[in-house]
Amino acid sequence: MFWQYASEGHKRVAVITGPRSTDKRTRTSYKADHVKEQIEIDEYYEKGYFLLGDWHTHPESIASPSSEDRKAIRDIYRSSVNPGPGFVLLIVGTRPLHESLSVSWCNDNITAVERLNK
């Protein structure tokens, strides 16, 4: 996921990319092609887009970050040249989005974003 400055001066989610054909995917696992991933990040940066975070799905009804997810997003944060205050990690489960979505704020720590009840 990438953000950019909108014409009004605020930040907006601008691009959400999907898995690359060179990523390794199964129903229960995902391994990004980090070389292609970095090329993608660099190309979007040249166009004025900044890395917002990562998203993917889990084959569970209500999603939550796995230990692999936590390690991966921390590695991305720690290896980024200018990560800012952190990244967003979105994970979508199998139930309807409003029930299954996991949102976390990630830097050296992983913090779940709490839902507001209606």
Report pLDDT digits (tens) over 43-76: 999 999 999 999 999 999 999 999 999 999 998 8
The amino acid that residue 14 corresponds to is A
> Which H helix or E strand runs over 39?
helix 34-46
Query: What does the radius of gyration of the chain's CA atoms come to, in whole angstroms?
Result: 15
Residue 51 lies in a domain: yes
Residue 86 lies in a domain: yes
> Structural domain of residue 57, as residue ranges?
31-112
| Residue 63 near residue 89, CB atoms below 8 Å | no
Residue 70 lies in a domain: yes
Mean pLDDT of 10-25: 90
The amino acid that residue 9 corresponds to is G
The amino acid that residue 39 corresponds to is I
Residue-wise pLDDT for 79-88, tens only, equals 888 888 999 9
Residue 24 lies in a domain: no
CA atoms within 13 A on the CB side of 91: 22
End-to-end CA distance of the chain, in Å?
27
CA distances from 23 to 7, 34, 54, 74, 106 (A): 34, 9, 14, 19, 22
Residue 23 lies in a domain: no
The predicted pLDDT at position 116 comes to: 64
> How many domains are contained in the chain?
1
Residue 101 lies in a domain: yes
Residue 52 lies in a domain: yes
| Six token digits for residue 53 | 């975070």
Residue 56 lies in a domain: yes
The predicted pLDDT at position 81 comes to: 83
